[in-house]
Amino acid sequence: MPICKHLILASGLLLTSTVGIASQAFSSEQADFRLETVAQGLEHPWSLAFLPDGTSLVTERAGRLRVIRNGQLVDTPVGGLPELVVSGQGGLLDVVLHPDFKNNQTLFLSYAHRNQKGMTTRVARAVFDGNQLTGVDVIFEALPRSGASRHFAGRMEFDREGNLYVAVGDRGEMDRAQDTEDDAGGVHRITTDGRPAPGNPFLDDRRRNDTFFTFGNRNIQGMTIHPETGEIWSHEHGPRGGDEINIIRAGTNYGWPEITYGIDYSGLPITLDTKKEGMAQPLHYWDPSIAPSGIAFYTGDLFPQWQGDLFVGALKMRKLVRLELEGGKVSGEEDLLTELGERIRDVRMGPDGALWLLTDSPRGNVYRMVPVQ
């Protein structure tokens, strides 16, 4: 079922100017908007979090946690980060706030870590005092380790019960995603102290790790909570084609690599199957691949036309995708910011009603999408 069955519209540039992106107005099917540059010169920014006092935190994959305060990027990075490794696709990855951050100042970081047994994905909990992390405690570590330097995943999201969902990639070793005694290739649901969350689907199954919530996931690079249902939505990279959007449901096998709509990078098939009994079909997929990264539902007031739409960044195709939803299914698709020519790493719904974007480059930017006045 090719992606062309969906409506695809290209964004158009309304105004060309040589004075910078802030003077450019972009047109979408339903709204005109522009980009405000919030911060520049970040080294492969990966994730963004909004603090209650208006401060923002940005991770740089190169191993720095940065602060944007009063609209300015603070020169000195946050101190006290856990030990991590920057290798290939690994480094400092996601940052999410504790649901009660206002009272406990606790946050969570995902990152790559290396020791003599190899590399893996870790999650640490820490307290942020405004400039420094203290009380750093590793609460999750995906095992076994390996020498691979890709597909760490690392996206995280909290549900309404305060459980933390942690995505771990297949580490580029695809068969690990179907092995539930191996932490790679799935979503793990844990409490804020790292224990398996109550009600996890495999708690009574000795053949499967207690923290597993789903498996058969290749490399999830976007996770968000549905504003109405509370379900966790995600997307993941396919190989050459087969990027997927999924709703993360307990105990579900999403099929990788037993089923896929993509092919191997060599051009050869990974499998001839796109469906199998007991394996979930994606809600939506892309072929060819767009390399999705970052995902957010629009819930603000600045763009009432976009209420309930889902926004997805794209690395390979260098665009922002707007998906219209109807009855829990994708009913339309629009490409935005194709003229920007930047890899979109993260997409966040800001408390100010704007969509915030991170661009992935050695000198990446933080943008706000705001209406044209």
From the candidates 44, 98, 113, 151, give the one annotated as an active-site residue.
151
State the chain's maximal CA–CA distance in angstroms. 62
Q: CB–CB of 340/318 below 8 Å?
A: yes
Paired residues of 132 in beta bridges: 79
Helix (H) / strand (E) element for 104: namely helix 101-104
Cβ within 8 Å of residue 342, ≥6 positions away: 318, 359, 360, 361, 365
Please return the burial class of 110, using the count of CB atoms within 10 Å of its CB with bins 0-12, 13-18 and 19+: buried
DSSP string, 294-363: EEEE---SS-GGGTT-EEEEETTTTEEEEEEEETTEEEEEEEE-GGG---EEEEEE-TTS-EEEEE-STT
- Is 237 annotated as catalytic? no
Distance of CA 86 to the CA centre of its chain: 18
Query: Catalytic amino acids?
Result: 151
